[in-house]
Structure 1
Amino acid sequence: MKILDKYIIKSYMITFTTVFVILFFIFVLQGIWLFIAELAGKDLDFFTILKFLSFYAPTIVPMVLPLSVLLAAIMTFGSFAENYEFAAMKSSGISLQRAMKMLTITIGALSLVAFFFANNVIPDAQYKFINLRKTIVQQRPAMAIAEGQFNMIGASNIKVDKKSGKNGEKLEGVTMHVKNTSMGLGANTIIKAKRGLLTSDDDSNYLQLELFDGYYYEDIHPKNYEERKRMPFAKSSFKKYIINIDLTTLNQADLDSDGSITSEKMLTSSELLFTIDSLDINYKKDAISFAENIINRNEYVVTNKDIPLKDPIRSPKISKLTEKSKDLISIFSYSEKSQIVEIAKNNLTSIEYSIENSYLDLEYKSKNINLHWLAIYEKFVIAFSCLLMFFIGAPLGAIIRKGGLGLPIVFAMLIFITFHFINTFGRKLAQEDTISPFLGSAMSSIVLIPLAIFLTYRATNDIGIMVNFDWLTDPIKNIFNKLTHTKDNN
């Protein structure tokens, strides 16, 4: 390796490391805000919070890494061009392609590390992250409830005035609003108690809440509408009342909108392929079973001795009809026609309901398969995006000839926001089965590859982007010059 290659790699890696650490810290702070409701006011020790964030931190690397590669490339090569180091290289017969050669190999190695990280480290970190959340809630059940505010847990809203005890399991001043989901009319039950005690088993998904010395108020919804106007309710007092609270919603591994933590992302590529094979077999079996069920539904038998439809070939009425007319219904009496129409109507309603339910079930399973394919492809996209961002950032830096954090960070944010938006858009389309998972995950790369080729070609041939912004900057300069000239005259 020549001295020049060492110098270029060293300059780039120093910038890359600095940028990566800064961006990583910013995204970790964003993650703290994302999970602030689970961390704030829960009486967690510093080590537990540190573990919580350390298990979450690897999930943001796929977003931070490509942006760091892009910004570092623009800054490094922009600095080379700004300080006329590229001019010195070209005067010595060293082209931009030659200057990028060893650094391209370095970024290629970084891409392989990124794939290994996405395939092995991130799934393991996400699995531990979800289990840590569950363990915290089970070992310290009071963590699910913060003092002085209502906490939504399942169908209940719980507020306590004060917590005490080693793990905050002793409660004082408990107020609960329990919504009756079947009625859909807001808080149907209100429970107030002077004291409470939270307990939980390590292998259970339920919290047991024991309430002492309280009152129970429940709205009553009579079937008669006139009685509802009186707004009846039931009231009772208790010395001890036990409630089981379902923690399944707290332990769910689905934070897709922001945290992007879903069950398929806890698997490696080999595990995903095995899971997809099982899901695909299950999907095909359900589709065949659904089709056979619809066919069998049409082979119904009318249970009426005067309407022998089970064997239409041997039926004298139908045999007679086939010789004279094609109007099958005309051979039956009015009561028989009514019965046939009613049977047909009920059968169609039943088939329609079955089709809708089966369609929704198959659609959900198809989306689940697509999510698993997306999880596989995204591991490769993370690696490829590092190379793509380098081949966009390096020539762009050489063209704009600006280092530092000014103009480079503007270009980097615009390019990365475009990349991230297209990636999210493609992922959503693939989830809805509008496009294939491969196209959905690769859409951002497909869109930006022409930009990388264009910039590399222009920078290699020292052409520049040739975009003239004088039409925008000249009027502003003229106004500024006029204001300065007027001020000097005064």
Structure 2
Amino acid sequence: MKRLTVFSIKSFAGPFVATFCISMVMLIMQFTWVYIDDLMGKGLSVGVIIELMFYVSAGLIPLALPLAILLSSIMTLGNLAENNELTALKSSGLSLFRILRPLTQTVILIAISTFFFANYVIPVANLKWHTIIFDIQETKVGMLLTPGSYSKEIDGYAIKVKSAKDNTFYSITIHDYTNPNILKTVKADSGTVYKGDNGKYLLFHLSNGIVHEELQAQAPVFTNQGQPFHTGDFRPSRTTQFKAATYKMELIGFDLNKSDEELFKNDYEMLNVFQINEAKDSLQRKQNKVLSDFGKTNVRNRPFSQSVSFEKLPRTVVGKPAVNAANEIQQLQAIPSKTIKLSSLTKAERIAAVNAAIISARSMAGVNEEQAQFLNAFRINYEQFQIEFHRKFALSGAIIVLFFVGAPLGAIVRKGGFGAPVVIAALLFMVYFVLFSVGENLASSGVLSPFWGMWLPTAVLIPIACILMIAAANDLGVFDKKLWRYILTFGTKR
């Protein structure tokens, strides 16, 4: 049995490592494609890119593992079945469940490790790469220039642009003071700006302009006869016109600055399950307090409640300035202590009362609508924490279920390698990913509870896994009538 265990794990390890690496490369490429606009043209150093990809890779492992488990399990059992090794093992009296026992134990160990990784490592990785992406997105050279005013953010330069569109600027004026002996002014009709590859230079691509250079006043020069050749106010200068030119400025102090990670650490993606539980309790307490305060405020602001509380007035105005207390006393004294019938009022008084009631109702409706929007945002935030809480557990469950989908499926199709298994795994993983996305969206919108939203793929795939395991264990096809008769009769053979 030790040989079977070693043989099974060796057969599984190769495809698993290969498919996991391929999945990670694909997911990193997808991430790069999503953030390509933020990464290009920023002059980021190689170290920043490597650091970003390192933390992103840690966060993508939960997505790569289910696909790797699914594909490697199909390939492993497909290879065994294709080479008749699975048939030989069954002929020796071993059931499919016994054959899969070493792999099952391995996958369960991977699932448990994945949970701890997702709970303790991925939140830190998410915090790191979200911080880096935020800093990269904020490092935009176009933000250095404000249309209509001179910008002196870059040492040694004063830059003015008339207008801007995206990364293109118009009516550009650049005063260059980097050389104290030369006063240089560059004017151009338009230009684009970007950082150099090493991030140390700001480059302007200018169109249709002139460069005017003027030296500082020169010392007087005299001829041999002692006559002045020129006085001290002489300033040599030259002007150059160009159709297109590139102007380079050295950037000092505009490298990628890392933000304080405290800004992001309380986000639900950066917390483990224990911290999420604490955050959920805190949010629930805040929501209850908001509802309680809102109800008390509504009651207190009603004229009837104010009139009833007139006897408790000394306590209600304690701590208020004397003027405010006197005003409040006058307002409360003006409220009648008895009910006034509308029919007892004059026409003008009825119109005034109705208008006041309409205004009060509209005001109250607006306040209630704002409160409802606030509570809805509160609910969405609370459910995001719940979704993240169940996501960490659902991931480990999905790994185990996908293994029991892929292993019997490989035994049924009897195909190994990267041909048919890749196609089958891609289709199944697409189903899993669609179910995962749908469940998350339904949970976020409040249609499903966070629990069912995150466990939806697992709940759908468990019956499929059971059907495939029964079919593979009894050497039946998926569409074989005997299989469905066996399932419908609860295993009673007829």
Normalization by structure 2: what TM-score?
Answer: 0.68
**Cα 1:213–1:279, aligned 2, differ >3 Å: closer, same or farther?**
farther
Q: 1:171 to 1:345 in 2, by over 3 A?
A: same
Q: 3-state SS of the aligned residue for 2:472?
A: helix
SS at match of 1:384: helix
1:194 is aligned, of 147, 155, 174, to: 174
Aligned equivalents of 1:157 and 1:396: distance in 2? 62
Distance in 2, Cα, partners of 1:96 & 1:113? 25
Q: Distance in 2 between matches of 1:395 and 1:63?
A: 22
2:337 to 303, 311, 314: 311
Deviation of 1:130 after TM superposition, in Å, equals 2.6
| Secondary structure of the corresponding residue to residue 403 of structure 1 | coil
What residue number does 2:297 align with? 293
User: What RMSD in Å do the two structures reach over aligned CA positions?
Assistant: 3.9
Alignment of 1:250-265 (within 5 A): 263-265=267-269
2:237 — aligned with what? none
1:90 maps to 90
CA offset digits 1:425-467 (Å, max 9, x no partner) = 1111211222211111111111111111111111111112127
* 2-structure distance, mates of 1:467, 1:339: 81
The answer to whether the 8 A contact 1:174-1:196 is kept is: no
| Superimposed CA distance per residue, residues 24-76 of structure 1 (whole angstroms, 9 cap, x where no aligned partner) | 11111111112212221211221211111111111211111001000100111
Pairwise CA distance, 1:371: 0.4
Q: How does 1:441-456 map to 2 (within 5 A)?
A: 441-456=454-469
Q: CA deviation at 1:194?
A: 2.7
| Cα shift at 1:134 | 4.9
CA distance in 1, matches of 2:402, 2:445: 28
Q: 1:329 to 1:175 in 2, by over 3 A?
A: same
Query: Cα 1:348–1:98, aligned 2, differ >3 Å: closer, same or farther?
Result: same
Contact 2:442 2:453 in 1 (8 A): yes
Secondary structure, aligned partner of 2:100: helix
> Are 2:58 and 1:54 equivalent residues in the alignment?
no
Q: Distance in 2 between matches of 1:371 and 1:172?
A: 45
8 Å CA contact 1:69–1:389 kept in 2: the answer is yes
Q: Indicate if the aligned counterparts of 1:370 and 1:431 stay in contact, CA closer than 8 A.
A: yes
Distance 2:54 2:371 in 1: 42
Answering whether residue 131 of structure 2 is matched by residue 131 of structure 1, we say: yes
Query: Which residue of 2 is the match for residue 380 of structure 1?
Result: 393
1:174–1:461 distance in 2 versus 1, CA, 3 Å:
farther
Other-structure match for 2:140 = 144
Cα pair distance change 1:251/1:329, threshold 3 Å: farther
The match for 2:350 among 318, 334, 337 is 337
| 1:44 is the counterpart of 2:44 | yes
2:442 is the alignment partner of 1:429: yes
In 1, are the aligned partners of 2:76 and 2:416 still within 8 Å (CA)?
A: yes
Q: Which has the larger radius of gyration?
A: 2
1:400 aligns with 2:413: yes
Alpha-carbon shift at residue 214 of structure 1 (Å): 9.5
Q: Which letter does structure 2 place at the counterpart of 1:10?
A: K
Give the superposition deviation at 1:173: 7.4
User: In structure 2, do the counterparts of structure 1 residues 334 and 175 end up closer, same or farther at CA, with 3 Å as the change threshold?
Assistant: same
Q: Distance in 1 between matches of 2:393 and 2:466?
A: 20
Aligned counterparts of 2:386 and 2:475: Cα–Cα separation in 1: 42
One-letter identity of the residue aligned with 2:397: F
- Are the structure 2 counterparts of residues 332 and 126 from structure 1 closer, same or farther at C-alpha, using a change threshold of 3 Å? same
Deviations 1:215-253 (A, max 9, x none): 9xxxxxxxxxxxxxxxxxxxxxxxxxxxxxxx9xx9999
Q: Which residue in 2 is equivalent to 1:266?
A: 270
* Cα 1:83–1:278 shift into 2, 3 Å: same
Q: Distance in 1 between matches of 2:283 and 2:387?
A: 14
Aligned to 2:239: none
Report the equivalent of 1:207.
none
Work out the CA distance in 2 between the residues paired with 1:171 and 1:263.
Answer: 40
Unaligned 5+ residue runs, structure 2? 148-152, 178-184, 189-255, 308-327, 482-494
Counterpart AA for 1:29: M
Q: Does 1:32 align with 2:45?
A: no
Identity %: 29
Secondary structure (helix, strand or coil) at the match of 1:402 reads coil
**Who is 1:275 aligned against?**
279
Residue correspondence of structure 1 range 211-290 to structure 2 within 5 A: 263-290=267-294
> Match for 2:347: what amino acid?
Y
Alignment of 1:351 with 2:364, yes or no, is yes
- Give the letter for the 2:76 counterpart: T
Report Cα offsets for 1:305-330 as digits up to 9, x if no partner: 9x9753125xxxx4xxxxxxxxx321
Does the CA contact (< 8 Å) of 1:78 and 1:398 recur in 2?
Answer: yes
The answer for the alignment partner of 1:459 in structure 2 is 472
Name the counterpart of 1:204.
Answer: none
Return the letter of the residue paired with 1:194: I
Aligned residues: 378
Structure 2 counterpart SS, 1:433: coil
Q: CA deviation at 1:338?
A: 0.9
Change (3 A) 1:112 1:6: same
| Structure 2 counterpart of 1:106, one-letter code | T
Offset at 1:95? 1.2
Instruction: Provide the secondary structure at the position in 2 that maps to 1:452.
Output: helix
Q: 1:104 to 1:344 in 2, by over 3 A?
A: same
- 3-state SS, counterpart of residue 8 of structure 1: helix
For residues 257-284 of structure 1, give each alpha carbon's deviation from its aligned partner in whole angstroms, at most 9, with x where no partner exists: xxxx992111111111111111110011
Cα deviation code 1:379-416 (max 9, x no counterpart): 01111111011000000110111111222112211111
SS in 1 for 2:303: coil
- The answer to whether the 8 Å contact 1:177/1:191 transfers is no
**Aligned counterpart, 1:202:** none
Q: Distance in 2 between matches of 1:285 and 1:381?
A: 32
Moved more, 333-342 or 52-61: 52-61
The separation in 1 between residues aligned to 2:186 and 2:345, in whole angstroms, is 72
Structure 1 residues 415 and 213: CA distance shift in structure 2, 3 A = same
Task: Provide the rounded CA distance (Å) in 1 between the counterparts of 2:176 and 2:74.
Answer: 60
The answer on whether the counterparts of 2:146 and 2:161 sit within 8 Å (CA) in structure 1 is: no
1: CA distance, partners of 2:279 / 2:88: 56
Task: Give ranges in structure 1 of 5+ residues lacking alignment.
Answer: 146-150, 159-163, 180-188, 198-211, 216-246, 256-260, 319-327, 469-490
Letter in 1 for 2:338: P
